[in-house]
Structure 1
Amino acid sequence: MTNEGTHEDERPLTGAALTRARVLDAAARLIGTVGLVRATTKEIAREAGCSEAALYKHFRDKEDIFVRVLRERAPRLAAAVAELPDRAGQGTVREHLEAVVMVAVPFYQQSLPMAGGLLASPELLAAHRRKLDNAGPHHVSSRLADYLRAEQRLGRVAADVDPDAAAMLLIGGCFHRAFLEVFYAGEGPAEALRPAALDDFATATVRAVLGGIQAPAA
């Protein structure tokens, strides 16, 4: 989440930009607490301290707000994986994959409450798909697979590995970890989250994946 009233460069927001930021912050809070369906534009405006008319000056509808919350208030998973193919051959495969895990788990943790309401509404889900215009969630594993293919060409990933399956395996593990975090909300049994710390989970998960895909010399 961003700090209310500031850009990434920490300059204070004013006027329309401040109103827009408050609407997104309010929407993110409400979607995470009452769910996407109950987070109406009226409630979002009330939470943001503005009128619905002011809200509609910045966003077309609730779906537009939802998309912007995902793009601007959640960890930037899509951006993180989009940059990976250009980094093939730099650093280590392990370091790159661990970095993906460290962004993916928090992203899915914040997205799950929103996605739950979206999936429960066929009409809203259909509208969301149309607005994505083929830029859907599959791009995360697809771009990660592109990175693994690039490393494969450099001999740093085993030649007989399917990059798409390996990418899906890693992203799927991150999604399941996030689901457990959201489901138990800190009240689960001791064995629910193993390893307990996210950085330990990233290390262990990437080690398990690399055990099956990394070339011996790498």
Structure 2
Amino acid sequence: MSPRGVAIPDVRERLFAAAEQVLVREGPAGLTGRAITSEAGCAKGLLNAHFAGLDEFIAELCLDRFARTARTARELPARAGRDTVVENLVAVAHVLLDSVGPTVASLALTRPAAFLRVRQALETGAPGFAAVEEAIAAYLRAEQRLGRLAEGTDTGAVALALVGTVHHLLMTSWSGAPDQRAQAERLVALLAGAGEAAGPA
């Protein structure tokens, strides 16, 4: 536990990471301010000192994780011409599956104030699922220009299908459910495999 009056470095990230751990272990019902600060090993009032309540905290956590995932996805176009199209898309699918963003987003949907804050931020340009889709589509267009993906491939539809399916897998996961990664990999092979094979080796 941090001593009273001692500054905690990167307090937002520390609280965000703690909230993710609580969500993974206890689910949305267990996400309380007390549970978050206890997991973070800090004073119980710290969350309210930095956020105007749990709704604002959840909204900011959601937006932060969306932005983090979008930053990772934006690195994908630079991989055009390296490895294979399927391998690169599988890699980004794994990043999306490892993101807690969709889980936090579903939590925000159950809290009107948090949902409104997230929606307003996305409407004014904060990165979200649309930014991830755009990055994947940009990567696929780059592969088309290199001749590694068939010209007729609908890059926007492939990006939407991949992001939408991963979101679905995250929202419908439960103990004992089919392996998410294997399902995502099968989808990638279906979406991109034929187009990749059509291009030159």
TM-score class, shorter: 0.7 to 0.9
Tell me which residue corresponds to 1:9: none
SS for the counterpart of 1:175 is helix
Tell me which residue corresponds to 2:199: 216
Q: Is the Cα–Cα contact under 8 Å of residues 133 and 160 in structure 2 kept in the other structure?
A: yes
Distance 1:149 1:138, change over 3 A: same
Unaligned 5+ segments in structure 2 are none
SS for the counterpart of 1:17 is coil
Q: Is the Cα–Cα contact under 8 Å of residues 102 and 167 in structure 2 kept in the other structure?
A: no
**Cα offset, 1:177, TM superposition:** 2.6
TM-score calculated relative to the size of structure 1: 0.70
Match among 163, 169, 173 for residue 177 of structure 1:
169
Match among 159, 162, 167 for residue 154 of structure 2:
162
Q: Given the alignment of the two structures, is residue 121 of structure 1 paired with residue 140 of structure 2, yes or no?
A: no
After the TM superposition, which segments of 4 or more aligned residues of structure 1 sit over 4 Å from their partners?
Answer: 18-22, 70-74
**Cα offset, 1:158, TM superposition:** 1.0
Match among 82, 101, 104 for residue 90 of structure 1:
82
Q: Name the CA distance, whole Å, in 2 between partners of 1:126 and 1:71.
A: 12
Q: Cα deviation per residue 1:121-152 (whole Å; 9 max; x = unaligned)? A: 33321111223432222111111011111111
Distance 1:22 1:80, change over 3 A: closer
Distance 1:136 1:204, change over 3 A: closer
- % identical aligned pairs: 30
Q: Given the alignment of the two structures, is residue 147 of structure 1 paired with residue 130 of structure 2, yes or no?
A: no
CA RMSD of superposed structures (Å): 3.3
Q: Name the CA distance, whole Å, in 1 between partners of 2:111 and 2:8.
A: 31
SS for the counterpart of 1:210 is helix
Q: Is the Cα–Cα contact under 8 Å of residues 70 and 132 in structure 2 kept in the other structure?
A: yes
Unaligned 5+ segments in structure 1 are 6-13
Distance 1:216 1:101, change over 3 A: same
Q: Name the CA distance, whole Å, in 2 between partners of 1:78 and 1:96.
A: 15
Distance 1:82 1:46, change over 3 A: same
TM-score calculated relative to the size of structure 2: 0.75
